[in-house]
């Protein structure tokens, strides 16, 4: 059976996923039949070839729940999209005053 699933990359506490097509008997990080795109959960970036993914599904490939969610959110053209705008880091009042003073100086 062929599955569309996520292949985990990145380092500890900094995940990065590739969306791949693979045989169900292969390991999670094993060799894929085809790579369809990638997903970065930290910056919420997604790039996926939705047309090819739909072709694989039509051939009988079963997407996992997380892969199906990403396929549904993907752009039709396979362009890079940002699912959610990254939040700005909040500064403490002291740090904000310091930055404001530095900006005023020069």
Rg (CA), the chain: 19
pLDDT, tens digit, for every residue of 13-51? 999 999 999 999 988 888 899 999 999 998 888 999 999
Kindly report the CATH number assigned to the domain that includes residue 56: 3.30.1320.10
Straight-line distance from the first to the last Cα atom of the chain, in angstroms, rounded to the nearest whole number: 64
Q: What's the pLDDT at 85?
A: 64
* Domain span including residue 63: 2-105
- Bridge partner list, 82: 45
Measured in degrees and rounded to the nearest 5, phi and psi for residue 14 equal -135, 70
Measured CA to CA, the distance from residue 61 to residue 53 in angstroms comes to 9
Name the domain count of the chain.
1
pLDDT, tens digit, for every residue of 79-93? 788 876 656 667 788
The answer, yes or no, to whether residue 67 has pLDDT greater than 90, is: yes
Q: What's the pLDDT at 88?
A: 62
Measured CA to CA, the distance from residue 10 to residue 59 in angstroms comes to 31
């Amino acid at each position: 059976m062929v599955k569309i699933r996520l292949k985990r990359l990145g380092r500890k506490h900094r995940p990065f996923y590739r969306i791949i097509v693979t045989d169900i008997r292969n390991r999670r990080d094993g060799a894929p039949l085809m790579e369809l795109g990638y997903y970065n959960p930290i910056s919420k970036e997604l790039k996926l070839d939705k047309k090819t993914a739909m072709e694989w599904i039509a051939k009988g490939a079963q997407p996992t729940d997380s892969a199906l969610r990403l396929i549904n959110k993907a752009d039709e053209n396979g362009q890079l999209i940002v699912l959610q705008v990254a939040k700005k880091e909040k500064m403490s009042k002291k740090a904000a005053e310091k930055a404001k003073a530095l900006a005023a100086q020069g």
